[in-house]
Amino acid sequence: MFRSHFDVRAQPGFGLITLFTFFALYLPIAALVVYSFNGSESLSRWDGLSTRWFVAAWHNSAVQDAAVRSLVIALWAAFLATFAATMAALATTRTAPYRGLTFKYALINQPLMVPEIVTAVALLIVFSRIKVWTGYSGLGYLVMAHTAFCIPFAYLPIRARLESMDLTLERAAADLYATRWMTFRHVTLPLLRPGIIAGFMLAFVISLDDVVITEFVKSGGQDTLPTYMLGQIRRETTPEINAIATVFLALSTVLVVVFFFVNRRKT
């Protein structure tokens, strides 16, 4: 008996379930954005449209310091994680299969499988000993911790890009007596650039909004914007937190849109 091709969109209730899913996902975010423009000091009472909380956050020196610190850490962590992930992706894809390769995949992706709290406690133990030995307690520990956590997030899109690339051009470059470095620079790297950009942006966003690892590793006076927001929620919650979260959302949206257009143009 002939059976037509299965299409999940044609199943009864698919549209309703889809609408409910989007409603459940985005209603809290929509409420957050709307109440960030609330003129009232209460999170539960609407008092008209106002941008006072965006202005208050902009002029808050603690928010400014935390935001700059977050951006610095995220940029360094994303750059280092993307560099390491690119090297790892090349080493695990541009090679013949051998025993232990699957183990290396699992080892690189280990931070994705282990609960973040475990990674945070492990980093806390290691860095606490290093702090005692060296006397250094700067932002370097946060950069290293975020880099270690972000490597698998950058690795996945870079590896996926490498595995989907046609090797014909690289082989043609080798046939034309190009060295490995010239082949990588002029052939592999331009084709790999969308994956690298995707890995960098993903690592940047992951580092920017990390709370657990930052809370365990940071020293006094090293609050990032997420840990600052967590501390404010513990003490006194105002719509200023909503305004900061809305800016975070806008930044993430801009990054996604920029990546979409860059990736479409490159491919």
Q: Is residue 193 part of a domain?
A: yes
Residue 49's DSSP bridge partners are 38
Most confident range, picked from 22-31, 73-82, 171-180, 192-201:
73-82
73's tokens: 């850490």
Q: Which residues neighbour 243 within 8 Å (Cβ) at sequence distance 6 or greater?
A: 36, 53, 54, 56, 57
pLDDT of residue 230: 85
Residue 50 covered by a domain: no
Residues of the chain with pLDDT > 90: what percent?
A: 17
CB proximity list for 156: less than 8 A, separation 6 or greater: 109, 199, 202
Whether 32 is in a domain gets the answer: no
Q: Which residues constitute the domain of residue 126?
A: 61-266
Domain assignment present for residue 249? The answer is yes
Whether this prediction's pTM lies above 0.75 is answered by yes
Distance CA 214, CA 112 (A): 17
Q: What is the pLDDT of residues 54-99, one digit of tens each?
A: 888 888 888 889 889 999 999 999 999 999 999 998 888 877 777 7
- Residue 246 in any domain: the answer is yes
Asked whether the predicted pLDDT for residue 1 surpasses 50, the reply is no
Q: How many domains does the chain have?
A: 1
Is residue 28 in some structural domain? no
CA angle 188, 258, 203 (to 5 degrees): 65
Indicate whether 223 belongs to any domain. Answer: yes
Residue 8 belongs to a domain: no
Helix (H) or strand (E) holding 57: helix 52-58
In CATH, what number is assigned to the domain containing residue 181? 1.10.3720.10
